Amino acid sequence: MTTPWVLHVDLDQFIAAVEVLRRPELAGKPVIVGGRGDPTERAVVSTASYEARAFGVGSGMPLRIAARKAPDAIILPVDAPAYTAASEEVMATLREQPGAVVQVLGWDEAFVGVQTEDPEAFARELQTAVLERTQLHCSVGIGDTLVRAKNATDFGKPRGTFRLTADNWLEVMGERPTIALWGVGSKISKRLAALGIQTVDDLARADPEILAGEFGPKMGPWYRQLGRGDGSAVVDDTPWVARGHGRETTFQQNIVERADVEAAARELLTQVLADVAAEGRPVVGVGLKIRYAPFVTKTLVHKIPATFDRDTVIAETMKLVDRIEPGRPLRLLGVRAEMAMPDDAREGHTPMRGGW
């Protein structure tokens, strides 16, 4: 007899760790990776090493602020191909483990489904295998659902394991604020607080009708489920298929001139079309993301008849570009193409956002 378990594998300070492997002299020093590595530019921190975090630097923080908080930190540019390569090695290692079903969530994390009587032992085997193959350390959350495994990982960091099941979920998580939950961010936690729901325990016991009234028929019940840690325990290894591809840039100086806007749109579109062409699926929609200075975001989208023709996609996108307000300073421009989905593409099995 064996029991199905969900493991959530999360690499410790992944990006910073990959950089330290290439440059061993950085070990033990505050390292910040973000943007082009220039703290005078508009950019944010992708990852900070534990030494940099001690100065209060965290991911998502403007690079400029991070440099002020940790003046002696080494600031490096983001090198996506290097992290992709390291990530692929990690994921390959996970897939090699006997009985493991692997669902990749991002560069540095994955769910692993396995049948075992000793999930901690299996977790340690994973950690050892990943370390031997890649020299990278990871933490492993163990759970009886995806949500519990995911939330367990934090308690295992760094380099450890932690188990969260129906038996200890409320004991461990109950007193924590709702924002600690994966899927509850600052906006939702504030709206929950306005309903008198402060903690995970409050959310687990909340009236489903009230939640549905506030958040809708799908998200309302989903938040309550999150509070209880319930939900799917199925790790799905069917390959992920992108709905679309997009590129965006934040201009270091806001742009205004129509010619500059169009040139920026065309450049982004070239990259998007290259990504789309690599997929071999027709484009069925185009979109624009516009951020007017200082920080007003708009989106424009437009469905189109399925096409492989670049000129059509360009023309349709330019129709949207024509709707950008002339003379209004532009801080960010994004271009996106939606593709037709194959019939056998993976269906999201929870309302969770972000790729699974």
Partner DNA sequence: TCTGGGGTCCTAGGACCC
Which positions lie near DNA, rule CB under 7 A?
35, 42-44, 46, 59-62, 64-65, 105-109, 150, 181-189, 215-220, 242-250, 275, 285, 294-295, 297-303, 331-332, 334, 336, 348, 351-355
Q: Shortest approach of DNA to residue 283 CB, angstroms?
A: 13
**Integer Cα distance of 333 and 271 in angstroms:** 14
DSSP state, 281?
-
| Number of other CB atoms surrounding residue 5 within 10 Å | 24
What is the nearest approach in angstroms of DNA to the Cβ of residue 206?
15
Query: Minimum CB separation from DNA for residue 38, in Å?
Result: 12
Q: How far is the CB of 314 from DNA (least distance, A)?
A: 17
Instruction: Give the three-state DSSP class for 182.
Output: coil
Torsion angles phi and psi, residue 237, rounded to 5:
-100, 10
CA distance 324 to 318: 10
| Shortest Cβ 156–DNA spacing (Å) | 14
Q: Output b/e per residue, 202-220; b: 16+ Cβ within 10 A.
A: bbbebeeeebbebbeeebb
Q: CA 118, CA 217: separation in Å to the nearest integer?
A: 38
* Number of residues that make up the chain: 356
**34 or 113, CB closer to DNA?**
34
- DSSP 3-state of 288: strand
Catalytic residue among 109, 117, 214, 267: 109
- Quick check: is 109 catalytic? yes
Please say which residue, 227 or 244, places its beta carbon nearer to DNA: 244
Question: Amino acid identity, residue 3?
Answer: T
Q: Measuring CA to CA, which residue among 133, 170, 165, 120 is closest to residue 147?
A: 165
Q: Could you give the CA distance from residue 38 to residue 60 in angstroms, rounded to a whole number?
A: 15
CB of 249 vs DNA, minimal distance in Å: 4
Cα distance between residue 251 and residue 258, in whole Å: 14
Closest CB to DNA among residues 19, 108: 108
Residue (64 or 205) nearer to DNA, CB = 64
Residue 38 or residue 120: which is nearer to DNA going by CB?
Answer: 38
What is d(CA 279, CA 249) in angstroms, rounded to the nearest whole number? 23
Beta-carbon-side half-sphere exposure of residue 227 (alpha carbons within 13 Å) = 26
Output 115 or 179, the one with its CB closest to DNA: 179
Residues marked active site are found at: 109
